Each structure stands twice: as C-alpha cells, then as structure tokens.
Amino acid sequence: MEQLQEILSLIDSFIGGAQWFAYFLLFTGIFFTFYLRFPQIRYFKHAIKIVKGKFDKHTDEGDTSHFQALATALSGTVGTGNIAGVALAVYLGGPAALFWMLLTAAVGMTTKFVEVTLSHKYREKTSDGTMAGGPMYYMKNAEFHLFGKSFHLKWLAVIFAIATVVSSFGTGSLPQINSISNSLLATFGIERWITGIVLAVLLAMVIIGGIKRIAKVTSRLVPAMALIYFVGAALVIAFNYQNIIPSIISVFSDIFSGSAATGGFLGSALIFAFNKGVGRGLFSNEAGQGSAPIAHASAKAHEPVSEGMVAILEPFIDTIIICSITGLVLLSSGVWNEKHLNQFQNTDLEVLGRVYDEQNEQDKKQLFDFLNHDGSVELFSGTLTVENGKITNELSILHARSIAEEVTVYKNNAPYTGNIEVQTGDLADPGNEYTLMGKSLVHSAPLTTIAFTRSYVGDYGQYIVSIGLLLFAFSTAISWSYYGDRAMTFLLGSKSVIYFRVVYVVGFFVASFVDTTIIWTFSGIAIAVMTLPNLVGILLLRKEMKDSIAAYWQDFSEAFPEEKNPE
C-alpha cells in the first residue's frame, strides 16, 4: 500500500498536485469572469428566476426540470468535499487554504456557466430517447478555430469521456463510500464492509432506474441533507461564538504568507496552502471538471445559455455557503490544530531518526520545510523495540503532519512486545499486523466529526455528521454513476451502460474498506485528467460563448419585454 501511495503521489505531483494545474484552473475562471464581464454577479438574480421555472415553455425538450438538474448536479458536488474535503484542506494548509477554496468557487461560478452552456448547446438524443450531453459532445460537434483553421476535437472528446469514466470512480464512488464507512465505524462501531454492502445494494436499486429516478431521489435528498447539516453547524458556531471573529480573521490574515504554526499544526507555506485550497475547492464544486454539464444536459430548456445560468448557483451553494460553514465550524471549535486520539494509518506515518521537539524553533523549522516539500528530515532505518506496546527507541513519529504523542503499538488487539523493522521511515508491515494508536492531528471526516461535538448537544453532534455525510456522499455516488454511464454511452453505446453500473457498484463496495489516503490521492489524479481537456475546449470556444450570450439576451428581450435585461 505504501508503494502504491508513493507511485500515485508522484503522478499527482506532476498534474493535479502541481502548481501549474491550480494556476491554469484559476486563470480559466478569471479569464472568463473578465471576458464575459462578471456573469456570476450580473446573472445571479436571473438564474434564480430560471430555476423557479418562470421562463419555461411547454415545448422545451429534456428529461428533467431546471430544479431537478440543479439538484442532481449539486448532489454530485455536495458530498465528502464539503465535510471531509474542507477538513483536509484546513489540515494541510491551515485557515489560509479556506480562502483559496472560496476564491476558486467565486471564479468557478463563471467557469461552470461556460461549460454547461456549451455542453447543453451540443447535446444529443440517444437511441433510447433520453438526452446525452457533456463536454465530450461539444468537443465532437463544435467547430473550433485556431490560427485561421477550422477543426473538430473528436480525439479530445474520447480522452475526456475515458477520464470521466475513471473520475466517476475517483470522485463519485471510491472516496464517498470510504468517508461514509469510516464515519459510521467511528460513530456507531459499524464494520466498514457492512456499510459498504448495504449501501452498494441501495445504490444499485437507484441507478438502474436511470436519470429520471436519479433526479427524483436527489431532488428530495439535497434539501433534506442541507437542512440537517445547517442545524448541526449552527449549534457548533453558536456554542463557540467568541471564536467567530478570530476564526474569520485567521482565514484572511495569512493569505499571502501561508498559515503559521499553532498548537499541533506545524504550519503551511503559501504555495502549499494555495495548491491544497484550490485543489479541494475544485473537488468540492467541480467547476471546470466537466461533470455538471452532463447532468444539466438532461434539463428541459430551449436556450442553452439559460441552463448555463442555472449552473452559476452551484459553486455558490456548494462552496461559498456550505464549505464556509464547515470551515467556520472547524476553526471556531479549535479542533483543527489539536491532537486527538486516533488509529494511525501507515501511509500517513514516518518514523524519524531522532527526537524532534515542537517547542524547539530549529526542529520546528526543519519539520515545516519537510512537510511543505522544501527540505528533509532524518528518517529511521533499523529495528524498533517495543515493550508492552511502548516503543523504547529514542525517536519521534510523525503522523498526519504532526509529532505523535502517547503512541501504543497493538497486535491482535493487544499491546505488542517484540521488534518491528523500519526501512527509511516506513514500517515493514506488508500484512498490516501492527496497529499504532496515539495522539496526533486528524483530518477528513473524523476531524469534522470531532468539531461537531463541540456544541450544545455534545457527543450527539457526531451523529449529525454521520447522517449528513451519509446523505451527502451517497447522493454524490448516485449522480456520478450517471456521469459515468453517459460517458460509456458516448464511447461504446447504450448497451455498455449495464456493465459499467455493475463495476461501479462493486468498486463502491470494495472502497468501503480501502486506505483513505490512497483514495484521496487517486481522486486528485482523476480530477486533473478530466479537467484539463475541458478547460482547453472551453477556452478555444470563448468567442462562440460570447456570441451565444448576445443571441440569448436578444431573444429574451423580444419574448419577455417586461423583464429587466441585465445586459
């Protein structure tokens, strides 16, 4: 597992985890924000009217309403990114990472407007009578112009569709059930494989019904899960009211310097906080990834631009509202930089070659550089001597980007006595015989779960996270199954969908008991591979997008002269 994690991390460092990817993502959103003159602000009010159905026509073609399409797309984005992803961003980059998440969402509102409009414009009706759309269809059907030459991008459409199938696992299936199973194990003691098999059966029952059943389920799930989560979060924030202002200040105070070390948190450099904030922001709202256009392609609409405007609301609801609330819960409760008793994951663990002291400025600086990929530390190789669960060697253990305390080693659920071999900081434990427990920072869903206990309801708050995570993540898995089957339809036809669904459900079950860190790393790679072709495609079609908006407002003014035109 450690070797697989190292390989995936290396791949991710060149694409999704690289600085250029975050820059390219933000550049695209910023470019369209100025090129189209801030549509996320000017069209926001109009978008709400469209969702309400004010401008619908009975002749509009499609399988779902505007609201159902929005709910389906939101259910695909409102998931572990809002509960586990925000906690992971703050854990990695500190409060400053939350700012970069919000900035990504603000410009992402424009990116999503563009990708949904273009995808809806070139959607097709399949042999079974349903609508199919997404970036692969505009890549195949649109005429691109560059250096005076016209061409189609069918080859890019194929790459995107393949990446969508991969990302349906990396974004929609694997990390969702992994977070659900870990949360239910921590809260209720339910074995992860039991959670996996029960939810896999429910997932299969929903996705077999296609987009109409998916839309029906998600349009009910999204409002319910948002209400449950908001109530729980409000209880935490109100309970820690004295920390609200300091928490907000901490988000903005270290934007251009990175987050300083505090408590068990050893600090984060500017670039590291920026990359993690942008990366988690994209995972949260998927702006630019090209997933939401697949859901919106099913909506009943006679104007592609109108459906694009509906999509403006997604990053606002998903990231600016829900992720901000989660971030405020984490910061105001104070749990993000505290060490908590937890079971260590080997992929998050390094055995250091000597004792490192967090109170020693030189040691802290060396660890800071190492954790921000700008330096090295002394790693241990040799034999650990363990007596009644306690390591007798004079050294420190780094777990979850913090110096671990009160470490105990178990084997077969009992304190271990004996030796453990270590190779360059990694435990030689191929059979996962040893379990290490102790105090360290925690991340992802477990961190949010702890934060929700710092409220008026005490330990009962963990149940709110578990229920919220269950609904959020399960609805995401449902929506992403649809994205994957539309991609399979594009690649191999409608008959291939049933085979995809079987593999999707099986993968969903298996991921319920696989290492969390590997899942998140794989997810980052899948997101990047899917996003890049879409960003290239919409940039090449920038002029067509502007022309489509102009034509929309001209037709709108003629059809609804009494309505105010934002242009």
Name the residue range of residue 48's domain: 41-338+452-559
Examine the pLDDT at 17 and tell me if it is beyond 70: no
Distance CA(466)–CA(24), nearest Å, equals 35
197 in the same domain as 315? yes
Question: Could you say which of 440, 474, 498 is where a domain stops?
Answer: 440
393-448 pLDDT per residue, tens: 999 999 999 999 999 999 998 999 999 999 999 998 877 889 999 999 998 878 99
Among the listed residues 153, 74, 170, the one whose alpha carbon sits nearest the alpha carbon of residue 118: 153
Query: Does residue 541 lie in a domain region?
Result: yes
Choose among 52, 54, 46: nearest CA to 67.
52
407 and 472 share a domain? Answer: no
5 occurs within a structural domain: no
Q: Is residue 19 part of a domain?
A: no
Q: What are phi and psi of 324, to 5 degrees?
A: -65, -40
Q: Are 79 and 273 in contact (CB under 8 A)?
A: no
pLDDT of residue 1: 62
- SS3 label, residue 66: helix
Q: Are 420 and 499 in a shared domain?
A: no
pLDDT, tens digit (0-9, with 9 covering 90-100), for 38-49: 999 999 999 999
Instruction: Give the span between the Cα atoms of 69 and 60, in whole angstroms.
Output: 14
Boundary-marking domain end, from 406, 440, 474: 440
Residues 470 and 502 in one domain: yes
Checking if the pLDDT of 529 tops 80, the result is: yes
Specify the number of domains making up the chain: 2
pLDDT computed for residue 79 by the predictor? 64
3-state secondary structure of 382: strand
Mean pLDDT throughout 356-370?
Answer: 92
The pLDDT of residue 14 is above 80: no
Contact indicator for 312, 40 with CB cutoff of 8 Å? yes
- The pLDDT score that the predictor gives to residue 308 is 93
Let me know if residue 271 belongs to a domain.
Answer: yes
C-alpha 127: how far from chain center: 33
> Both 250 and 179 in a single domain?
yes
**In terms of domains, do 321 and 396 share one?**
no
Torsion, Cα 260 262 264 265, to 10 degrees, reads -20
Mean pLDDT of the chain: 87
pLDDT attached to residue 172: 78
- Per the DSSP assignment, residues forming a β-bridge with 410 are 415, 435
CB atoms within 10 A of CB 435: 16
- For Cα atoms 252, 336, 286, give the angle at the middle one, nearest 5 degrees: 65
CA atoms within 13 Å, Cβ hemisphere of 467 = 17
Q: Are residues 485 and 394 in the same domain?
A: no
Beta bridge partner(s), residue 390: 387
Give how far Cα 377 sits from Cα of 66, 91, 240, 354, 370, Å.
54, 21, 37, 9, 6
**Among positive and negative, which fits the CA dihedral 32, 257, 22, 291?**
negative
User: Residues 304-327: what's their mean pLDDT?
Assistant: 90
User: Is residue 197 located within the same domain as residue 119?
Assistant: yes
Question: Do 145 and 263 share a domain, yes or no?
Answer: yes
Domain assignment present for 142: yes
